[in-house]
Amino acid sequence: MVCQHQVEIDVWPATAEVYFRDERYANLINTQARFDAAVYNAPNCEVKWEVRALDGSPGQGQVGRDRPLHAPDKDGLNSGLTEIVVATATADPTRQAFAYVTLVGRGPEPPPAATLLILPQRREPILPAGGDSAWIDDSNKVQVFRAVVRNSPSSLNWFVGGSAVPEAEHGPLFYFAPAAASGPDTVIPIRAQLATDASVKSEAKVVLVNYNWPGIV
């Protein structure tokens, strides 16, 4: 009778902690951990690596041929998720060794919020038919409103006094003072909002005035 020693396998480190691959604060080196295995009493030292969840199903991380475990992106995974690194001896697949790896982190930095600002915020154009407005250059009876958009490629929806102005969707808004107004200081609200998110908006106002030149009777 010939006694043959049983194949044995050992893996280290027994535990490791890595950050999610898209973790906002992690250095790339912290998103992976290297595992090594030793096989005893076998004709070769080849090892098959796997990553499994605690219930035995396929895990999230991957162990490459050079034996580092590469963490996954966070996606919807919880920080503190623990998985099992399994090393199986190819000489005897019934012989395995295990290590534990914990995935931690908050994930990537959230995208910056979209912002919108109308410039100018207030303008007082002259009514063309009010008071002594005929003496005033027509450039004072029109105003160009521009919207400064940050962190969004969306087009804009413009509104003047609650009414949409579709022709201003992809550019500035040209506001022309009406011939007359209901009062000497009529206020017209101007609003711009993202076409894809109406909650991102900015408001300005137009105060229509009649020009009266002192000394002219």
Do the bridges between strand 15-19 and strand 96-104 make them parallel or antiparallel, or are there none, so unpaired? Answer: parallel
Q: Is the pLDDT of residue 98 over 90?
A: yes
Residues 21-33: tens digit of each pLDDT: 999 888 888 999 9
Predicted TM-score (pTM) above 0.85: no
What is the DSSP annotation of 94-152? T-EEEEEEEEE---SPPPPPPEEEEESSEE-PEEEEEETGGGS-GGGGEEEEEEEEES-
What whole-number percentage of the chain has pLDDT above 70?
Answer: 90
Confidence of residue 47 (pLDDT cuts 50, 70, 90): very high
Structure tokens at 42: 């076998």
pLDDT given at position 25: 85
Instruction: State whether residue 30 is helix, strand or coil.
Output: helix
Confidence of residue 167 (pLDDT cuts 50, 70, 90): confident
Buried b (16+ CB within 10 A) or exposed e, 82-110: ebbbbbbbebeeebbbebebebbbebeee
Residue 115 φ then ψ, to 5°: -130, 155
Q: Sign of the C-alpha dihedral, residues 40, 44, 45, 48?
A: negative
Specify the residue for token string 């910056």: 112
Asked whether the beta carbons of 15 and 100 are under 8 A apart, the reply is yes
Residues 2-19: tens digit of each pLDDT: 456 799 999 999 999 999
Confidence of residue 183 (pLDDT cuts 50, 70, 90): low
CA proximity to 25, closest of 104, 120, 136? 104
pLDDT given at position 1: 47
Residues 63-88: tens digit of each pLDDT: 766 667 888 999 889 999 999 999 99
